[in-house]
Amino acid sequence: MKRKLSLLPGMAVNNIRKNGSTYFPYIGVSIFALFTYFVFDLIQRNDVMMTVPKGAYAAALVMIGFVLLGLIMVPFLYYTNSFLIKRRKKELGLYSILGLEKKHIGVMMFWESLIIYGVVAASAIILGLLFSRLVFLLLLNLAKMQVDVEFTISPVAIIDTLVFYAFITGLNLFVNLVQVGKANPVELMSDARRGEKEPRFVALWSIAGVLALGIGYRMAVVSRLDSTIFTNFFLAVFLVIIGTYFLFTSGSISFLRFLKGRKKFYYRPENFITVSGMLYRMKKSAASLSNICVFSTMVMITVACTVSVYLGMDAIVSYRVSRDLEVYYAQHENPDLEQIRQQAALLAEKNNVFLKDELVFSYAEVRVCQEGNRMRDRRQDDNYMDWTAVKLMTVDAYNEMEGASESLEEGQALIYSSGADFGADRILMGDTEFVIKEELQSSQFCKKAVNDTFNMEYLLVVRDTDAVTRAGAFFGVDGIQDTTCRYGFNPSGEKENIDRFSEELNQYASGLTGFMGFSDYREHMSEQESMYGGLLFIGIFFGSIFLICLLIIMYYKQITEGFEDQKNFEIMQKVGMSDGEIRRTIRKQVSMVFALPLAGALLHTVMGMKMVCMLLGAINFFETKLLIIVSVAVCLVFACVYVLCYSRTSRTYYRIVKQM
């Protein structure tokens, strides 16, 4: 008894070495996953993240990524373990026949798990200690934060990592012991080659898959940027995943049955083997294919979104900011704007700062709720998401702002929307009606994005101050007393010079009559850059993780099916199939299997792009053209990578099948 137990650790090491083609990829992906988990934990537990300027944004994103990483890696490594144990069952059954009791096999499996745990945990932590500072500097660089900070190692992060992987290892070991313990040696010997039973109610589940996918697609296509966008996104993702699984499982079987019923197609050697072989194991194969499809979609959407956001960062941070520096005055106090502009020019010259894009405009603002073409007062039961700002401006102020020469008759108005067009020929401001002479499509007042419904506002240009008063009277706004004058510009020069200039101008402006406020939007824009840089950091890692998950599923699928098909092709060869026919059959089967997930992923990505546009609109990203260009490029690159990975992993399949 003691001698048997003493032999088990050595057998465990030998088993891992002999099954290297199965275990080494699993160990490699586990090391990468645990390395990423450890690095994320180190960063989010580092005190310096809360002291570095703008570090809170990056820290929050790292925390979110840390939690999501754990949620992704547990089911993935559990799923990958199913490939391992299926491949090992024949070997374990042979051990049982040769005299090892179930408890001895259990102890051997425990030692295998312990060895893998030690190798993975040690490798991940060592790599984390070596490269965590490099990854941390990458985060700081992408987030445009200062990089001359000290990075410390938290012992708690090491403990977290060890406990996290111990949980995964323990879960997988428990499942493996249960499967081996419940089966007798004969079942273990045959289970590795046992085909999956076809699921029941194939037609019903196929219809359910089509409906789930159709509803998910419809939600994505008709989505709007409103308060329900995030809820609808997760629901649409859930429906698409469920629909994908049902269609790959039951829908594919329905399709294969259809092919089987077409005798001219089915009764050809390569088609016969391809269709019958896929039907033989479709349930298990479909699970792998649906996972490949889902992970492929995740890779493309994650990379496309993060790259688009990073490239469009300037447009995002400047979307709601007309000028970097702005001074606000009460119009009724008659501020001397020319004096202010002269003083700003003197201070700029003194501090070696150049002023450009100067803009002066005045308006009165009302907050309303829109019902068609009528603007009414807000009520307590209104959702704040339905509130809309209307800026009331005289035509003279508009002409000065735009350098235009518009003129209006009594009761006429010009209207400009920062979001979708107003689209009506009349507007009711409470009980006061204006005829829309023209709907403007551009203005220096603010940028236009037709998808913007979160922060949409209107500019209503009327004839004079009396018209402003009439338009705002219903909302308690006076055209004289409530008009604000804004003077803004974009400074250029060294940051220190601009900071000094901004401080001196603020001191000067705050002492003048009618002063209402001074805004320096550069800090806000810098914070936004930090947040989106951190988002790119998360996207890089998650895109890599999804891609590695995809590759490992493809690899194990090739191994599993290679051993399953080995005997089948050997029999086919004995009954008369030539080597050329076998090679063509293998090529067709593998190509069909791996083309389906890629086609499904590309379709998911295309159908989900409208909803992705809406989601990005929540962070003021409205560069639709940029997103489309990046998405097309990402899809093309991914397709090339996918084909390359398919080609590389398929060699393993060919090598196994040819060993007959």
- Tell me, letter by letter, the H, E, C secondary structure of 428-457: EECCEEEEEEEEECCCCCCCCCCCCCCCCE
Assign residue 150 a region (left: φ > 0; alpha: ψ between -120 and 50; beta: otherwise): beta
Return the pLDDT at 659: 59
Return the pLDDT at 581: 65
Q: Cα separation of 445 and 193, whole Å? A: 70
Helix, coil or strand: residue 53: coil
Return the pLDDT at 307: 86
Helix, coil or strand: residue 312: coil
Q: Cα separation of 27 and 16, whole Å? A: 10
Reported pTM:
0.72
Residue (of 241, 239, 254, 238) closest to 205 by Cα position: 254
Q: Which residue has the tokens 């406990």?
A: 163
CB 412 within 8 A of CB 383: no
Q: Cα separation of 18 and 632, whole Å? A: 43
Return the pLDDT at 167: 92
Return the pLDDT at 578: 64
Own/partner pairs, 103-107, CB within 8 angstroms, 24+ separation: 104/4, 104/5, 104/8, 105/180, 106/177, 106/180, 106/181, 107/5, 107/8
Contacts of 360 (CB under 8 A, 6+ apart): 337, 341, 400, 401, 485, 486, 487, 488
What are the average pLDDT values for consecutive 10-residue runs of the chain, which has 660 residues?
A: 61 77 80 84 68 56 72 77 73 67 78 89 89 73 61 80 90 83 61 54 79 90 75 85 82 72 69 66 67 84 85 77 84 77 88 88 86 80 71 89 88 88 87 89 82 79 89 83 86 88 88 83 72 74 78 75 67 64 66 80 90 81 87 91 79 67
Max Cα separation, the chain? 105
Contacts of 496 (CB under 8 A, 6+ apart): none
Cα torsion 338, 340, 342, 348 to 10°: value is -150
* Cβ count near 637 (within 10 Å): 12
For residue 306, how far is the Cα from the chain centroid? 7
Count how many Cα atoms sit within 13 Å of the Cα of residue 596 in the half-sphere of its side chain: 22
Residue (of 601, 61, 41, 531) closest to 289 by Cα position: 601
